[in-house]
Structure 1
Amino acid sequence: MLSRHAADTIELAAERVKRGEMSRRSFMWAMAALGFAPIALNAKGALAKASEIVVVNFGGDAVAAWGTAWGEPFTADTGIKVTIIGGEPTPGSIKAMVESGSVTWDCTDGDAYYLPILAKEKLIQPYDYKVVSKDKVRPEFVFEYGCATYLYSTVNGYNLEKTGGKVPNGFKDFLNFKDFPGKRSLYKWLIGSLEAVLIGAGVEPDKLYPLDTDKAFAILREHKDEFLLWGGGAASQQLFRDGEVTMGCIWSTRASVLDRESEGKLGWTWDNGIIAPGIMPVLVNNPAGPEVFNFIASTQDPKRQIKLLELLGNGPANPAAGALLTDALKKIDCGYEPNYRRQIPVNSDWYAENYDRVQNEFLDLMGS
């Protein structure tokens, strides 16, 4: 039971938030310091109407890009501030925040395979599809607890100086060391890596999932010295810039930068790329309440999705954005229909069920 003084302290702080004299994030931190955070949101309804939405992505250029493409337009529409924070919104971080009883994030960036993991532990909310439109997303990327807000793709990048000017046939040439000698790059955190190995071993795209991890690991053991791992986008680019790899897994956003700066010497192909949705899970007890779904719905606007493509290279999740693409943007948009048809949608259910186990086995194998 709160003392009257403590209750009045919370009420005064909440009133400052309502008047715009204190940000909601500062309010939550202050209440947490006083030990009141779990209760503070109920202070006489003072925060019933959100004054701020806090969104967390994985940082870097994405912070400013999300702010420009999505945050500022929503604020202009509604008057509600959108704060974009760079961090590590992993399932573990979300779990720790929710279980602390002091939730300060409204929604975060994430992969679709996060959703069943987080939902099972009741850490996130089902999406309000009366507000967010299922019709503005490809049906394969609509889930109970979230839908795609952007698309990204893991593609086969290549160095024409090392391939003798030949363009690989997507990941089907990934293990073709005879015609394309040299090392290959693999994503340390798995998505796209085993797919590249299996397609290179002759597995047909429509037979790719469930992934045959035994087969993939056997191939990796046989050719382990031919693979170099990367854990972040900048590192993946550097492997190509330094001439360490002939071809390899790379996000299309990074590949397009290499293509541009090298005047086409470092290229990529959409063939057999693994295309995946970026999702915004909404935390339970999120401070902004249902207003967060209005923000997510606003990101579905085709013009705002095109702006993110221009700034960051992420593909629009809304197919209607295709009508707004310039020729230059069509080249780099993984979701542009002719590019999309050449790729393979990731099987998020398989990753949700198997990721932790397979990831650990993969790192053990590559580190041994």
Structure 2
Amino acid sequence: MYPSLLKRASLSCAILATLAGVTQAHAQNLTVISFGGATKAAQEQAYFKPFDQSGAGTVVAGEYNGEMAKIKAMVEVGKVSWDVVEVESPELLRGCDEGLFEHIDPAVFGDSAQYVPGTLSECGVATYVWSMVMAYNGAKLAKAPTSWADFWDVKDFPGKRGLRKGAKYTLEVALLADGVKQEDLYKVLATPEGVSRAFAKLDQLKPYIQWWEAGAQPPQWLAAGDVVMSAAYNGRIAAAQKEGVKLGIVWPGSLYDPEYWAVVKGTPNKALAEKFIAFASQPQTQKVFSESIPYGPVHKGTLDLLPAEVRAALPTAPANLEGARAVDAAFWVDHGEELETRFNAWAAR
């Protein structure tokens, strides 16, 4: 009797193991491309691994630098090897207009009222909200700066400054430093006089600027004392703070912007792609992400799940949004090419 039971138990285990193997073998791969660095590490913990464990599919994670040309080439030749891509807001608008991204089914993502306004669109769902902030090394300054005007004040705050090597964000902070009100920022920048005003302001600081191109550079330069202040992605600074680097953040005057998940046009895995994005948009998964890196969640239910000290470091925390300005994606779609061309010519002089 006992040998028979054992035999049947062993057979059942073998069948279950075989079925599990079949399920694993047929688990659909989903290629998800994001920007790498500390953000990708947080995405791995919050979204990629849990999605794999859910049994819905297997995430094959990759990274890029936002090159839309790669996506366009895939779509045009009809050989789409990327399913979900992380894109900045202007690229989402451009890609949607150019037919590079699938239109998503809003019903998959639940009640739109539960999302931060502006984070659900016809071609994408925001994955988080980040901010371009002013960061500083307090050990290198006699007092803490409080505004972009202080960033330009090399007399009271001597030392090198770090700025992103590009027109976007850099022109905005130049105008803010010059006294333009946040609500008028893009109205001013949309005029020839406003653009000239921004470049004239940058002329004042140019000898003190150390240009950065990678998000990892500002915290490294600040920690080393190469610069005393820098425009920086808030998450990169927070990651350095977690490692014990004594850096400060100035939230007033920050520029915040969502990053989006988009589904590449022509992917055979559209349904699974939408399922992944819906999975990554839940409060429980976004909680893990925001605990790993302080970027603001887009589902309103997430903030209540987070400890007060975590909420305080998020761009979407009410105190941090006060005095901040949303980046105008449509403005950069309309004017980005000409402004970047002018910036590159100015920077090369």
**Quick check: 1:104–1:287 contact (8 Å CA) kept in 2?**
no
Cα deviations across residues 259-292 of structure 1 (Å, max 9, x unaligned)?
A: 344564x211111111110101211111212221
Q: What's the CA shift for 1:303? A: 1.8
Work out whether 1:71 is the aligned partner of 2:48. yes
Alignment of 1:40-59 (within 5 A): 51-59=28-36
SS at match of 2:136: strand
Residues 221-240 of structure 1: matches in 2 within 5 Å? 221-240=203-222
| Match of residue 110, structure 1, among 47, 64, 87 | 87
Q: 2:256 aligns with which of 248, 251, 275?
A: 275
Q: CA deviation at 1:78?
A: 4.3
**Cα distance in 2 for residues equivalent to 1:74 and 1:349:** 33
Alignment of 1:1-368 (within 5 A): 51-133=28-110, 134-164=112-142, 166-210=143-187, 211=189, 212-261=194-243, 264=246, 266-368=247-349
Structure 1 window deviating more from structure 2 (124-133 vs 97-106): it is 124-133
Q: Which gives a bigger RCO, structure 1 or 2 (Cα 8 Å, sep 6+)?
A: 2
Distance of 1:223 and 1:88 partners within structure 2: 28
Q: Is the contact made by 2:263 and 2:270 (CA closer than 8 Å) also made in structure 1? A: no
Corresponding residue for 2:11? none
Tell me, what secondary structure is at the counterpart of 1:273? strand
SS across alignment from 2:106: coil
The 1:68–1:274 alpha-carbon spacing in structure 2 relative to 1, beyond 3 Å, is: same
TM-fit CA distance, 1:65 = 2.7
Render the CA deviation track for 1:1-56: whole Å, top value 9, x for unaligned: xxxxxxxxxxxxxxxxxx66878xxxxxxxxxxxxxxxxxxxxxxxxxx8222110
SS at match of 2:251: strand
Determine if contact 1:67/1:82 at 8 Å carries over to the other structure.
no
- Return the alpha-carbon distance in structure 1 between the equivalents of residues 253 and 345 of structure 2: 27
The DSSP-based 3-state class of the residue aligned with 2:263 is coil
Distance 1:261 1:75 in 2: 29
Q: Distance in 2 between matches of 1:158 and 1:89?
A: 27
- Return 5+ residue gaps in structure 1 as ranges: 1-18, 24-49
TM-score w.r.t. the length of structure 1 is 0.81
Structure 2: distance between partners of 1:355 and 1:172? 25
Report the alpha carbon displacement of residue 64 of structure 1 after superposing the two structures with TM: 3.9
- Report deviation, 1:138: 1.6
Looking at structure 2, the residues matched to 199 and 140 of structure 1 have their Cα atoms a distance apart, in angstroms, of 24
The answer to which of 66-75 and 317-326 deviates more is 66-75
Asked whether the equivalents of residues 32 and 62 of structure 2 are also in contact (C-alpha less than 8 Å), the reply is yes
Work out the CA distance in 2 between the residues paired with 1:215 and 1:21. 60
Shift in CA distance, 190/238, structure 1 to aligned 2, threshold 3 Å: farther
Q: How many residues align?
A: 323
The secondary structure found in structure 1 opposite 2:168 is coil
Moved more, 67-76 or 350-359: 67-76
- 2-structure distance, mates of 1:263, 1:116: 37
Aligned to 1:39: none
Give the fraction of aligned pairs with identical amino acids, expressed as a percent: 28
Aligned-residue CA RMSD in angstroms?
2.3
C-alpha distance 311-96 of structure 1, shift in aligned 2 (>3 A): same
User: What runs of 5+ residues in structure 2 fail to find an aligned partner?
Assistant: 1-21
What secondary structure, in the 3-state scheme, does the structure 2 residue paired with 1:69 have?
Answer: helix
1:6 maps to: none
Q: Aligned with 1:315: secondary structure? A: coil
- Aligned counterpart, 1:12: none
Cα distance, 1:129–1:21 mapped onto 2, change above 3 Å: closer
Q: Per residue, is there more helix in 1 or in 2?
A: 2
Cα pair 1:256 1:267 within 8 Å, conserved = no
TM-score (norm 2): 0.85
Deviation sequence 1:294-319 (CA, Å, 0-9, x none): 21111111121121122233221222
Matched-pair contact (CA < 8 Å) for 1:153–1:275: yes
Query: SS of 2:139's equivalent?
Result: coil
Cα contact 2:238–2:293 (8 A) shared by 1: no
